[in-house]
Amino acid sequence: MVSRVSLSHQRRNASSSKPRFSKHNPYLSSHGHSGAIPEPSSPSSTYAPSRPKRLVVGVTGATGTVFAIRLLEILRELGVETHVVMSKWALATGKYETPMLDADVRQLATHSYSPRDLSAPIASGSFVHDGMLVVPCSMKTLAAVRTGYCDDLISRAADVCLKEDRRLLLAVRETPLSDVHLDNMLHLRRAGAVIFPPVPAFYTRPKSLDDIITQSVGRMLDSFGIHTDGFERWDGFDWKSKQMS
């Protein structure tokens, strides 16, 4: 009985003599030996590392490769980190519509991937970025993203944006539109995607095709909080300088 009381007394003394998580608590050190608890790392360096804005760009085989090229040019000028994926038919369309080669387009991006590489960082939700633009977006890719049938890296990266609740913009390029196309767009809009047909804005009185392309790309970037001054924005009717005859 004496030994039991003595042992109980020792336990009470031990528990009250030092805090449970002291700097020399043996239960918090390796191999059961007493040791100092390491100071916590700075949250700014460990949990929230500084990085530039990071966007994913998917390029499909629909007409309008020039929009993707201008997008990458602007993002490069702004210092935005870009991760680009070009489909097989995007390469074919690009060669037909522009004088730029595949290598020229890829050099505009920070990183580029094969559409077959489903092990790429952008295929995982744990890879943090600020959103994705599919420019232009074919109806095939639209349907793949809508159904979640992700058999290439573009549709998979877009699917990741939806499940991670990140911004996803689809620059759909087709006309006229069938009820299937419209239903797919409505479904994805309700899922959070931005449906962005690159429609020219004639109120800016564009003087060239480049003006139209730059304005459309600038409006795309507005959706990601990137506001550029490279195109004319609507500021109301200026009756003094633009009188209607």
On whether 173 is known to bind a ligand per the annotation, the reply is yes
Give 156's contacts (C-beta < 8 A, 6+ positions apart): 118, 123, 150
On whether 86 is known to bind a ligand per the annotation, the reply is no
Reported residue count of the chain is 245
On whether 63 is known to bind a ligand per the annotation, the reply is yes
> CA-CA distance, 151 to 155, in Å (whole number)?
7
On whether 185 is known to bind a ligand per the annotation, the reply is no
On whether 140 is known to bind a ligand per the annotation, the reply is yes
Query: In 119-142, which positions are buried (b, 16+ CB within 10 angstroms) versus exposed (e)?
Result: ebebbeeeeebbbbbbbbbbbebb
SS3 call for 158: helix
On whether 149 is known to bind a ligand per the annotation, the reply is no
Element containing residue 111 per DSSP (H, E): strand 111-113
- What is the DSSP code string of 124-150? STTS--S-EEEEEE-HHHHHHHHHT--
> CA-CA distance, 170 to 56, in Å (whole number)?
12
On whether 15 is known to bind a ligand per the annotation, the reply is no
Helical packing angle, 88-97 and 65-77, nearest 10°: 90
On whether 139 is known to bind a ligand per the annotation, the reply is yes
Which residues sit in the known binding site for dimethylallyl phosphate?
203, 219
Which residues sit in the known binding site for FMN?
61-63, 87, 138-141, 173
Which residues sit in the known binding site?
61-63, 87, 138-141, 173, 203, 219
